[in-house]
Amino acid sequence: MTQQPVFTVGNVPVFGDAILSPMAGYSDVPYRALCRAYGSAMHYTEFVPVEALLGKRVHERFRRRLDTQPGEHPMVFQIFGNNAQMLLEAALRIQEWGPDIIDINMGCATRKVSGRGAGVGMMPQPELIAETFKLLTNHLKVPVTGKIRLGWDATQENFLEIGRILEQNGAALIAMHGRTKVQKYGGEANWDAIAQLKQAVSVPVIGNGDVQTPEDIDRMKAHTGCDAVMIGRAAIGNPWIFARQQRQDLTIGEITTAVRLHAREMVNYYGEGPGLRQFRKHLKKYFDNLAHIELDRLLGTESFAEFEEILGGVETAVPEAIPLKNLQAVNV
End-to-end CA distance of the chain: 47
Q: How far apart are CA 207 and CA 18, in angstroms?
A: 10
Q: Catalytic: 108?
A: yes
Q: CA 152, 186, 203, 220: dihedral to nearest 10 degrees?
A: -160
CB atoms near residue 54 (< 10 Å): 13
Contact 143, 167 (CB under 8 A): no
- Contacts of residues 56-60 at CB distance under 8 Å and 24 or more positions apart, as own/partner, are none
Q: How far apart are CA 122 and CA 107, in angstroms?
A: 9
Which of 48, 108, 252, 293 is an active site residue? 108
Q: How far apart are CA 224 and CA 230, in angstroms?
A: 13
Contact 177, 209 (CB under 8 A): yes
3 state DSSP class of 321: coil
Give catalytic residue positions: 108
